[in-house]
Amino acid sequence: MVESSTSVEMRYIKDQIHDYICISPLLSSIIDTKEFQRLRYVKQLGTSYMVWPGASHNRFEHCLGVAHLARSMVEHLRLNQPELGITPREVNCVQIAGLCHDLGHGPWSHVWDGLFMPSVSPGTKWKHEDGSKMMFRALLENNNINLPEKDVTFILALIDGEPSQCDPGEKPFLFDIVANKRCGLDVDKFDYIARDSYMIGEHIKFSAQRLITSARSR
């Protein structure tokens, strides 16, 4: 199963939105692959930098931020609602899903799936989540990162926000953390609302931690 790590093994990355982000050895092994490093060259806001020069940030930093918030959310639920029975395996799978949820973005992000793919392959229902799931499997295989198939299937379903894609025994509320298909309120949006507005110079008052510390599962 996906293992947890001790604080001695952790490394820390300085992020301009979330300050220091704690990265486990397992996450480091994913980050330090060519499949993940390519996100440094995929602009978060596509061609928006042509209008807002500051919008030159990338999917790499966004994915680190989502991984950080995903872990913060699931750890908050684990500590404050012990009756939910959240396990270390689930904490790590949710964080990996947050880290890898945008692996499948092409050049200029949504320009790729919103404009390019429909023009070259009309009628094809392509979502970047489809690419993310394909890329995640390729990343594991190409870099000899061994995860149990049950965990891989769980992570892929978390990326898509679809409980039906994995073992029915997985906790349904966990699928709302990274890709909330029920109401859209998830840590992906928490990060990009804060990050994108900051990078274009619109410093809005938004506190992801306020929402996380107020969260409960029913």
31-213 placed in CATH 2.40.160.40: no
Residues noted as catalytic: 128
What percent of the chain stands above pLDDT 90? 73
Give me the pLDDT at residue 9, please. Answer: 84
Q: What is the DSSP string of 99-150?
A: HHTTTT--TTTHHIIIIIHHHHSTT----HHHHHHHHHHHHHHHTT----HH
Q: In sequence order, which residues have a C-beta less than 8 Å from that of residue 73 and are 6 or more positions away?
A: 94, 177, 187, 212, 215
Across the chain, mean pLDDT equals 90
Look at residue 3 and tell me whether its pLDDT is greater than 60: no
Nearest in space to 103 (alpha carbons), one of 54, 52, 67, 75: 67
Query: What is the C-alpha separation between 102 and 189, in angstroms, rounded?
Result: 12
pLDDT digits (tens, 9 = 90+) for 65-124: 999 999 999 999 999 999 999 999 999 999 999 999 999 887 766 666 766 666 777 777
